[in-house]
C-alpha cells in the first residue's frame, strides 16, 4: 500500500501534472483520502474480533432457524453453534457468520468485521483504479526520455503491478458484492451452489434461507443508514450474531 501510494503521488502524478498545480493537488488529495480510508478499514479488519460463540449459547428447538439449517453442534469445539457459524482451523474456534480466514489481515472475516473488510476492498479497488488511470495518463500524455534502463524497467514493473492489483482487488470486491446481495458467505456459496443444482435436478427452485432480498441483505451488513455504508468503523448495527432473520419462501 505504501509503495503504490508513493509511486502514484510522488512519481507518476508529479511527473504528469506536478503536485504544485491545482490539478495535481486535487488529484493528490482525492487519492490520499482513498488510501487513508483503505488503511483505516484494513486496520479495522485486523483488530476487530469477527465474533465468537457465546459460552451460554444453546439452540432453541422451536426456532425455525434450527429447522432450516444443518446440525448446530461443533465436534471440534464440543459446543453448539448458531446458524451461519463455522469452525476456523487457523483460529481454532467457531466464528460467527464466518466468510473465510484471510492471511492478508491475519484474522478471520466474520460477522463483526465483515463490513470493515468490504470497506477495505472497496476503497482499495477505487484507489487502485485511480492509481492506474494516473499511471496511464502520465505514460500517454508525456514523452518519456528514459535516461537509463532502470527507469524504463521501473515504469514497466510498476504498471504491471498496478494492473494486476487493480484486476485482483476489483474482482474480489465484485465477488463479495454478489455474496452480499445473496446474503451468502464464501463457505455457504459452495453449499448453496450444490443445493441449487440438486433442486434444479429435481425440478424445484432453491433460495438461500437467509436471502431477504438485495436491499435487506446489504442493510443487514452495512447498516440501515446509507450515509454510514462507506464508513468502515460504523458498525453500530452489529448485534450478538447468534440469530438472523430468515426468508418466508
Active-site residue, from 88, 102, 108, 137: 102
70 closest CA partner among 80, 57, 58, 78: 80
Q: Across-strand partners of 73?
A: 80
What is d(CA 210, CA 244) in angstroms, rounded to the nearest whole number?
Answer: 7
16 closest CA partner among 3, 31, 35: 31
Three cell numbers written together for 129: 483504479
Alpha helices (runs of H) in 48-148, residue ranges in sequence order? 64-68, 114-141
What is d(CA 97, CA 168) in angstroms, rounded to the nearest whole number?
Answer: 24
Cα separations (Å) of 20 from 16, 29, 136? Answer: 11, 12, 20
Cα separations (Å) of 214 from 25, 154, 172, 199, 217? Answer: 38, 44, 19, 22, 5
First to last CA, the chain: 44
- Secondary structure (3-state) at 89: coil
Residue in this structure with the C-alpha cell 527507469, named with its chain if needed: 151
Residue in this structure with the C-alpha cell 487457523, named with its chain if needed: 90
Give yes or no: 102 in active site.
Answer: yes
69 closest CA partner among 77, 81, 53, 87: 81
Q: Which positions are catalytic?
A: 102
Amino acid at each position: 500500500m505504501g509503495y503504490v501510494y508513493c509511486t502514484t503521488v510522488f512519481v507518476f502524478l508529479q511527473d504528469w501534472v506536478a503536485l504544485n498545480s491545482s490539478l495535481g493537488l486535487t488529484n493528490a488529495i482525492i487519492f490520499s483520502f482513498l488510501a487513508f480510508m483503505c488503511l483505516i478499514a484494513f486496520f479495522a479488519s485486523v483488530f476487530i474480533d469477527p465474533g465468537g460463540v457465546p459460552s451460554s449459547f444453546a439452540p432453541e428447538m422451536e426456532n425455525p432457524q434450527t429447522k432450516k439449517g444443518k446440525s448446530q453442534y461443533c465436534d471440534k469445539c464440543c459446543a453448539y453453534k448458531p446458524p451461519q457459524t463455522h469452525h476456523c482451523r487457523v483460529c481454532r474456534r467457531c466464528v460467527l457468520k464466518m466468510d473465510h480466514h484471510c492471511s492478508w489481515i491475519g484474522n478471520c472475516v466474520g460477522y463483526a468485521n465483515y463490513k470493515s473488510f468490504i470497506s477495505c476492498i472497496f476503497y482499495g479497488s477505487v484507489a487502485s483504479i485511480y492509481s492506474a488511470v494516473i499511471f496511464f495518463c502520465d505514460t500517454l500524455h508525456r514523452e518519456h526520455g528514459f535516461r537509463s534502463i532502470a527507469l524504463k524497467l521501473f515504469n514497466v514493473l510498476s504498471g504491471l503491478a498496478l494492473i494486476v492489483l487493480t484486476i485482483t482487488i476489483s474482482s474480489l470486491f465484485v465477488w463479495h458484492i454478489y455474496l452480499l446481495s445473496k446474503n451468502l458467505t464464501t463457505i455457504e456459496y459452495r453449499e448453496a451452489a450444490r443445493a441449487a443444482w440438486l433442486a434444479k435436478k429435481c425440478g424445484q427452485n432453491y433460495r438461500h434461507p437467509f436471502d431477504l432480498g438485495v436491499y435487506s441483505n446489504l442493510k443487514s451488513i452495512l447498516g440501515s443508514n446509507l450515509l454510514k455504508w462507506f464508513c468502515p468503523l460504523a458498525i453500530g448495527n452489529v448485534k450478538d450474531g447468534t440469530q438472523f432473520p430468515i426468508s418466508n419462501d
